[in-house]
Amino acid sequence: MALYDFTAPRLFIEADLAEGRVLPLERAQANYLLTVLRKSEGEPVLLFNGRDGEWRADLVPNGRKSADLRIVARTRPQPAPPDLHYLFAPLKTGRLDYMAQKAVEMGAGTLRPVFTRFTQGERIKLDRLRANAIEAAEQCGILAIPDIAEPVRLPTALDALEPERLLVFCDEDAPVADPVAALRGAAGGAPPLAVLVGPEGGFHEEERALIAARPNTVALSLGPRILRADTAAVAVMALVQAVLGDAR
């Protein structure tokens, strides 16, 4: 028997979840279940709100375009939120959407936009960032919605990190070496983690010096090829989680 139900649709719900509650669906959610997926009365839907775990609910249509959900039972308890901060320079919209979704899938617990010298734009829609995080969580069985932190400039972002948090700095100018060995050599035990990925134009020399001056920081090369920022996000998150994080 499968450990997880991949057949039932999952929805993020803001309301508190408990057995026996009946929750009205938002119009877009009802349209998705009734029109797009063609779900019928009594079919299961999985719900989560980032606080109360995951619950099974039965669909209760009350018209062609509206429906309620009757909560039946909890299927999974709420886990502790992941303690991995993902710091990134904002990208163009489509690539930023992709990067945010992949960071959530890879276990980021906080998403922090960081403005650098070469960041191409300084406008970022936090509600869109949250929507992408929720979509990734819905599709991948994730129960914790990451915190969406306010965008700040690089020095402020560095100052906000706790001294004990290991910062993994994706540096295109770092010597090409074994990234697994570099991570293992930089960490003692299992420290809280942060990852920093820069903009398309890389980091300015003054920014690189500022990052290098922070204690408990490791500059990491991702190999002999220059990666796009959204590709680097997936690569470094996979490395960090495999060597130091929850994929060990």
pLDDT value, residue 122:
67
Do 244 and 193 form a contact (C-beta atoms < 8 A)?
yes
Percent of residues, the chain, with pLDDT higher than 90: 63
Q: What is the residue-wise DSSP string for 84-137?
A: EEEEE----HHHHHHHHHHHHHTT-SEEEEEE-TT-S-----HHHHHHHHHHHH
Checking if the pLDDT of 1 tops 60, the result is no
122 and 215 assigned to the same domain: yes
Rounded CA separation 148/108 (Å): 11
- DSSP 8-state assignment for residue 35: I
- Which residues on neighbouring strands pair with residue 44, listed in sequence order? 58
Interval 123-163: pLDDT, tens? 889 999 999 999 999 999 999 999 999 999 999 999 999 99
| Domain CATH number, residue 43 | 2.40.240.20
Is 205 a domain residue?
yes
123 and 220 assigned to the same domain: yes
105 and 137 assigned to the same domain: yes
89 and 35 assigned to the same domain: no
Is 1 a domain residue?
no
Is 49 a domain residue?
yes
Of 1-5, 34-38, 166-170, 187-191, the one with minimum mean pLDDT is: 1-5
Is 4 a domain residue?
no
**pTM of the predicted structure, to 2 decimals:** 0.89
88 and 125 assigned to the same domain: yes
205 and 88 assigned to the same domain: yes
Q: Is 149 helix (H, G, I), strand (E, B) or coil?
A: coil
88 and 44 assigned to the same domain: no
Do 236 and 168 form a contact (C-beta atoms < 8 A)?
yes
Angle between helices 93-105 and 126-140 (to 10 degrees): 40
Rounded CA separation 49/70 (Å): 15
Is 29 a domain residue?
yes
72 and 128 assigned to the same domain: no
Is 198 a domain residue?
yes
Interval 21-56: pLDDT, tens? 999 999 899 989 998 999 989 999 999 999 999 999
Is 156 a domain residue?
yes
- DSSP 8-state assignment for residue 230: H
- Domain end point (choices 39, 55, 76): 76
What residues make up the domain containing 31?
A: 10-76
35 and 134 assigned to the same domain: no
Q: How confident is the model at residue 185 (pLDDT cuts 50, 70, 90)?
A: confident
| Domain CATH number, residue 179 | 3.40.1280.10
Do 67 and 33 form a contact (C-beta atoms < 8 A)?
yes
91 and 110 assigned to the same domain: yes
Rounded CA separation 188/183 (Å): 10
- Domain end point (choices 76, 107, 126): 76
Is 2 a domain residue?
no
92 and 198 assigned to the same domain: yes
Rounded CA separation 212/109 (Å): 24
66 and 156 assigned to the same domain: no
Rounded CA separation 79/91 (Å): 31
Domain count, the chain: 2
- Domain end point (choices 53, 76, 99): 76
